[in-house]
Structure 1
Amino acid sequence: MTEKRKGARSIKDIPADILIQLNRGEIETANLTEWLAVDQRLLLENLLQQNNRSEYLEPIVKKIDQLKKQTVNTINETIGLGILDFVLKNEDAEFLSKLSTHPADLVRCWAAYTVGRNNTFNTEEKFKKIQPFASDTHFGVREICWMTVRPDISKNLKESLSILSEWTKHENENIRRFSSESTRPRGVWCEHIDALKQNPGLGLEILEPLKSDSSRYVQDSVGNWLNDASKSQPEFVVEICDEWLRESNTKETQYIIKKALRTIRK
């Protein structure tokens, strides 16, 4: 079973047959090393050939070549947006449906961009359609999918926070984690949300329900959210942490607070 593969620790140690399967889109990456090793151009070429869409290839590759900085994430985004462009022009919903359930995690990442950056959807529709990606079993898809809707969150902050506050009640920890990770004031590999940097209290409708969440994955995200906020509004974060300790002195809340205050306590 591919899920049980631990994956090599360095790119040079990835077995040749595994790399071939990864680039053909037959299996998922097992860890970050494999994720970085996949040749996304080759994966795209194979995907398009397998689905009789080879005419999509050249224009997308051209856009990759024009990138000032070629990283896994910038290439990923460029391919996702390139596919979205063709799908909209050709009304190619059939191809799109195959991508979102594809065996290869990087292909599902491209599919997330075709949802998160598809401006024929309003904010509510985007969130509804992105939720299956937020609950994906693969770490890479979960990270990419919140980045795809981050511009919408920033632009439509009040509505986004309102929708995501409902996600904090979801039974799936990955979906609960999405609600806090996608709204972090500073975030990782993404634009900051200035409104939340200046007024982190706006995010309390998401943070409060998660302050004693049972999942370590969610706890880490909430702690990081507050740590982000502490860099511009330290007094607010100290106040919230004190309040939470009074209201909810659980080991989960204590863990979150330790993470939240790490920059302040340096």
Structure 2
Amino acid sequence: MSKGVADIAPARLALLNGGAVASATLTEGLAIDFSMLLAAAVPTIGEDRLALMRAQAGAGITRRMALAAQLLLDTRVDLAPLQAHASDTVRGWVCFAIAARPDLDLPQQLAAMRPLADDGHFGVREWAWLALRPRLAASLDEAIALLAPWTAEPSERLRRFACEALRPRGVWCAHIARLKQQPQLALPLLQPLRADPAVYVQDSVANWLNDAAKSQPEWVRDLCGQWLADGSNAATQRICKRARRSLA
């Protein structure tokens, strides 16, 4: 495995930039030249748009993901083939394109994002919730109601999305002020997952509560106490232990 960008073999980097393979690590994903990948994935994109992409080469990756998605929308590229592209980064661009489409309401965006939230690649799953999070946060009550049924999905990836997308603090994203102050609003998402058998989901629930504990520690203590008193199992015990890791 590569330890840093400089450690990536030139032949491997060429495959990543050409969209022939998916990234195996976050480091590989960060090393990709977006303008080269965009030219390979969408040969008709045009030099002017590639120049815009090159001009943002030093920007943060989330900003570059959003720009690539907007260029796809501006060019009216068919997103369907890109959603099945070998490159996880290209599929990530589709996530941001779905989130940026003005013609879709939130239920339609969630429906379109669903297969990407259930993608086999870890990176695409992260881009799915990161891309849609601002829209979800802007319509928080509706978002919680729409995501609540996802907590019962057979796929642990979709169950995790329902929780991860609305973490109060999150990673690489803006905080959600209402959930920092009123974490109880998310109980329709958290309560059904309190004993989830998947570690992937358990970690998300625990991290959600750890976020909340930084603003509302007593609420997290009380909720974990209730869960543990209601006939807890190993999953609930693990969630609560991790959820309270930052509490004195």
TM range (shorter): over 0.9
Q: Which amino acid aligns with 2:128?
A: C
> How far does residue 137 in structure 1 lie from its aligned partner after superposition?
0.7
Q: Which amino acid aligns with 2:55?
A: D
Q: What secondary structure, in the 3-state scheme, does the structure 2 residue paired with 1:103 have?
A: coil
Q: In 2, distance between residues paired with 1:73 and 1:220?
A: 23
Contact 1:244–1:253 (Cα < 8 Å) also in 2: yes
Structure 2: unaligned runs, 5 residues or longer: none
Contact 1:135–1:172 (Cα < 8 Å) also in 2: yes
Partner of 1:212: 195
Q: Which runs of 4+ in 1 moved over 4 A?
A: none
Q: In 1, distance between residues paired with 2:212 and 2:122?
A: 24
> How far does residue 193 in structure 1 lie from its aligned partner after superposition?
1.1
Q: In 1, distance between residues paired with 2:25 and 2:233?
A: 32
Q: What secondary structure, in the 3-state scheme, does the structure 2 residue paired with 1:190 have?
A: coil
CA deviation string 1:107-165 (max 9, x = no partner): 00001111112121001000011010000011111111111111111111111101111
- Alignment of 1:251 with 2:234, yes or no, is yes
> How far does residue 8 in structure 1 lie from its aligned partner after superposition?
2.2
Q: What secondary structure, in the 3-state scheme, does the structure 2 residue paired with 1:176 have?
A: helix
Q: Which amino acid aligns with 1:54?
A: I
- Alignment of 1:13 with 2:2, yes or no, is no
Q: What secondary structure, in the 3-state scheme, does the structure 2 residue paired with 1:54 have?
A: coil
Structure 1: unaligned runs, 5 residues or longer: 1-6
Partner of 2:64: 75
Q: What secondary structure, in the 3-state scheme, does the structure 1 residue paired with 2:6 have?
A: helix
- Alignment of 1:170 with 2:170, yes or no, is no
Partner of 1:86: 75
Instruction: Name which of structure 1's ranges 150-159 and 101-110 shifts more when overlaid on structure 2.
Output: 150-159
Partner of 2:51: 61
Q: In 2, distance between residues paired with 1:144 and 1:238?
A: 31
CA deviation string 1:154-187 (max 9, x = no partner): 1111111011110000111111000000010111
What is the aligned residue count? Answer: 248
Partner of 1:203: 186
Root-mean-square deviation (Å): 1.6
> How far does residue 12 in structure 1 lie from its aligned partner after superposition?
2.7
Matches within 5 A, 1:12-161: 12-49=6-43, 53-55=44-46, 57-59=47-49, 61-62=51-52, 65=55, 70-87=59-76, 92=77, 95-161=78-144
Q: What secondary structure, in the 3-state scheme, does the structure 2 residue paired with 1:159 have?
A: helix
Identity of aligned residues (%): 38
Contact 2:35–2:50 (Cα < 8 Å) also in 1: no
TM-score (norm 2): 0.95
> How far does residue 59 in structure 1 lie from its aligned partner after superposition?
2.9
Q: Which amino acid aligns with 2:2?
A: A
Q: In 2, distance between residues paired with 1:78 and 1:139?
A: 21
> How far does residue 14 in structure 1 lie from its aligned partner after superposition?
2.1
Contact 1:153–1:160 (Cα < 8 Å) also in 2: yes
Q: What secondary structure, in the 3-state scheme, does the structure 1 residue paired with 2:42 have?
A: helix
